[in-house]
Amino acid sequence: MKPLNQRLQFVLQKNGMIDDKNQLHVGDPHRLLSILNEEFEISDENSRKIRKDIEKLKVVLDTTPCTVSWIDRNLNYEGINKTLAELCKRPSSEFVGKQIGYYSKDKYFYHFAQKLFTQDEPSIREELIGHIEGEDKTFWVIGTKYDQGRRAVIMGIDVTEVRNLEQTITVMDKLSALGEMVANIIHEVNNPLASIKACAQLIPKFISNNDLEKATQLSNKIDTTTTKISKIIKGIKTFVRRGNSDPHETLRLKHLIEDAYIICEGRFKEKNIQFIPPTEEESIILITCNVTEIFQIFVNLMTNSIDAIEGLEDRWIKISAHQEGTTISVHFVDSGTGIPEFVAKNLFKSFFTTKAVGKGTGLGLSLCKKIMESHNGSILIDPSQPNTTFILTFKNQNENLVGSAV
């Protein structure tokens, strides 16, 4: 009889677990355990120890709350753990030889695996959304190559409930912020309504006196005032709604900034804060984006700045924009003197906040970062500036997309 180590090598090689270069690539431990049970006698102490160690590994893999799968370079499953099988309501054996993500209507997991094998890095990680058994699931996925890059292990952590909680808290956070603005918004609406009422009462008088010029002026004033009220209401609806599934639109950057300012205008006036919008030259810059989400970023930055500088003697907020090729940079600056380094490094983390209890959940800037990343952009703090400065960077598809929209 061959010594155990030679027998083991022979068995593993016969079952494709050792290649011609003597490199071991076990793959699925469930399959390995089954092979050892068939090939070795239970009385063999060394074999029993090997099986015991593999059994431990199998228990660990099957009881972990993470999904675990082994795939080859052709993006086919070599094996999976019990968690993934139960999630998909399919037997583990069904997966072997099938393409990764075959059970889902989308290709997110396939593209992730494809990206893993085409990149030089040994590991990559991403957040993916998959439609599994009629449900949308969000996973934090980590892929690591082994066997000289010929195979990979992919682990997924289901963070669906965490994301749902974040979205729920975000809506509550928006409503809370809106609550802080509501008194000023009511004031911004009541004044124009009073103006409309006064104009409406005067128009018949001027018409009876045949002063049509005055009547027309008052009519135009009513039209302008109702437009402002409509913008305020539109801004409120945009601020509180979830627009992550909205299609991207192309519009002038200044329209987004103006709409955000309109629903914050009352707080600007209340705190006596000067607002400095982009220049006329900057105002013609176009941006292609999810309008609802980017609008919400501007409102969030404005309300954060108002809270931060309301106690300062010098109070102003300035927004400027620059375009170079397909890259658009928006600088959001306020009169604050910057953000301490220990705060800046945590500012974009979920639930981190420097506000007093009841003033915010800390989700605002972390979601701003996520929105910008979904636009293939970024949001950063510029510590080199004397005043507090956030820089938003967007990538437009068309370098000539400047000033053609209204």
Grouping H, G, I as helix, E, B as strand and the rest as coil, residue 21 is coil
pLDDT at position 42 is 47
C-alpha 332/C-alpha 147 separation (Å) is 48
**Residue 298: CB partners within 8 Å, gap ≥ 6?**
256, 257, 260, 319, 332
The strand pairing partners of 275, in sequence order, are 317
pLDDT at position 361 is 38
C-alpha 311/C-alpha 315 separation (Å) is 8
pLDDT in tens, the chain (406 residues): 344 456 666 666 666 666 666 655 555 566 666 666 666 554 456 656 666 766 776 776 777 778 888 888 899 988 888 888 888 888 888 888 888 888 777 788 888 888 999 988 888 888 777 766 667 778 888 888 888 888 888 888 887 766 666 666 566 566 656 656 665 666 566 667 777 777 777 778 778 777 777 778 778 877 777 777 776 676 666 666 665 667 788 888 888 888 888 888 888 888 899 999 988 888 788 888 888 888 888 888 998 888 889 889 999 999 999 988 888 999 999 998 888 777 777 777 665 555 554 444 334 677 788 888 888 889 998 888 899 999 999 886 555 454 444 4
C-alpha 185/C-alpha 389 separation (Å) is 27
C-alpha neighbours within 13 Å on the C-beta side of residue 179:
9
C-alpha 372/C-alpha 328 separation (Å) is 12
Q: Which domains does the chain have, with CATH numbers?
A: 1-57 (no CATH), 64-158 (3.30.450.20), 163-395 (3.30.565.10)
DSSP conformation letters of 108-154: HHHHHHHHHHHSSSSEEEEEEEEEETTEEEEEEEEEEEETTTTEEEE
The strand pairing partners of 334, in sequence order, are 317
pLDDT at position 391 is 92
pLDDT at position 335 is 92
Token pair 């009881």: residue: 63
Residue 300 DSSP code: H
C-alpha 39/C-alpha 58 separation (Å) is 19
Round to the nearest angstrom and report the end-to-end CA distance of the chain: 85
C-alpha 220/C-alpha 201 separation (Å) is 14
pLDDT at position 2 is 45
